[in-house]
Amino acid sequence: MPDTTPTTSASIAKGEIGPGCAKTDPIMIADEITRSFGGNTAVDVQHVEIPRGKITALIGPNGAGKTTLFNLLSGFDRPNTGTWSFDGRTLSGIPSFKVSRMGQVRTFQLTKSLAMLSVLENMKLGAKNQRGERFWASLFPLLWRSQEREIEQRALDLLQRFKLDAKKDDYAAALSGGQRKLLEMARALMSDPQFIMLDEPMAGVNPALTQSLLGHIVNLKNDGVTVLFVEHDMHMVQAIADWVIVMAEGSIVAEGEPSVVMRDQAVIDAYLGSNKDRDLGEVVAEIRAERSASPAVDTAAAAKEQ
């Protein structure tokens, strides 16, 4: 497993650590985010902050609302209620393509590569502010040829970094599942993001490529990129994550350093299943009641006071 520099709670959270706790330098802040489908509430997040420059893992059982929360925060879906901001700029109502241009990008559990384009062409599509994309400018190659060469060179450099340079002329459809994950991560970097959200980046990837993907995620942090990723494998989470957020039935039930969170009773009950004889809804309801009854973890109010 890749090594990461140890990160203490004091360098990430301020005050008491708990669900929705305030961070010393958050890159994203979300309040009162809810999303319902019919009569079912998929997401009900009162307050959450993502620490800047860290690797944060979002974990929880199937159906906990992790991907739905990803979709809401990245502009691919709209919440019923709530506000959220990225790097101090509100994202409420901003469509996904504009969110990407602002420096926040995401990947998908099921990769979205364009199958009948080459690997290199897929990469070049990820670059933003391309002059040749505008109709009138496209008619005059002198206006965009130099930028096109720069974009292609950056794409080739990233493909080499992700060990996909030998596949640059292959159709994306010819890549294995793991290679498509690498391509999607590399393509996301073409836009020079500050914040990247990875939805189950290791799902369906063979063990050999898993190690490579873990290394690339750590390198993103070393390059100054904030990472939020969904993962089910606790060994991977403990290996690379600085911070862990736990969801159950749409709500955040625990936060903290990986080693501490794995011993949290709320996590054991709601995620690891040691309390499987009880209804998960009862467990989450108890956690919500405890949180609302304790002023020490009313972090939204605490943040406003500061």
Here the CATH number for the domain that contains residue 62 is: 3.40.50.300
All residues at 6 or more sequence positions from 150 whose CB lies less than 8 Å from its CB, including other chains: none
CA distances for 283 relative to 132, 159, 191, 248, angstroms: 55, 46, 41, 9
Six-digit token string for 42: 């998929």
The rounded distance, in Å, linking the Cα atoms of 233 and 116 is 32
For residue 49, pLDDT over 90 is answered with yes
For residue 229, pLDDT over 80 is answered with yes
**How large is the average pLDDT for residues 178-194?**
90
Structure confidence at residue 275 as a pLDDT band (50, 70, 90): very low
For residue 131, pLDDT over 70 is answered with yes
Q: How many domains are there within the chain? A: 2
Question: Both 125 and 156 in a single domain?
Answer: yes
Tell me whether residue 22 is in a domain: yes
The rounded distance, in Å, linking the Cα atoms of 229 and 196 is 8
Tell me whether residue 298 is in a domain: no
**How large is the average pLDDT for residues 65-72?**
92
Six-digit token string for 304: 């406003």
DSSP-derived secondary structure letter, 261? H
The C-alpha torsion from 66 through 42 and 301 to 268, rounded to 10°, is -60
Question: Both 169 and 183 in a single domain?
Answer: no
Q: Where are the alpha helices (DSSP H) in 192-240?
A: 207-222, 234-240
Question: Both 185 and 271 in a single domain?
Answer: yes
**Cβ pair 58, 45 in contact under 8 A:** no
> What global pTM score does this model have?
0.80
Question: Both 77 and 119 in a single domain?
Answer: no
**Cβ pair 164, 156 in contact under 8 A:** no
Cβ atoms < 10 Å from Cβ of 37: 10
**Cβ pair 55, 218 in contact under 8 A:** yes
* φ and ψ of 155, to 5 deg: -60, -45
The rounded distance, in Å, linking the Cα atoms of 182 and 193 is 16
The rounded distance, in Å, linking the Cα atoms of 285 and 151 is 51
For residue 40, list its beta bridge partners: 37
Range of lowest pLDDT (24-28, 59-63, 254-258, 264-268): 264-268
Question: Both 15 and 146 in a single domain?
Answer: no
Tell me whether residue 300 is in a domain: no
Determine the structural domain holding residue 142 and report its residue range.
Answer: 115-174
Report the share of the chain in percent with pLDDT over 90.
43
Six-digit token string for 29: 């802040």
Angle, helices 177-189/207-222, rounded to nearest 10 degrees: 10
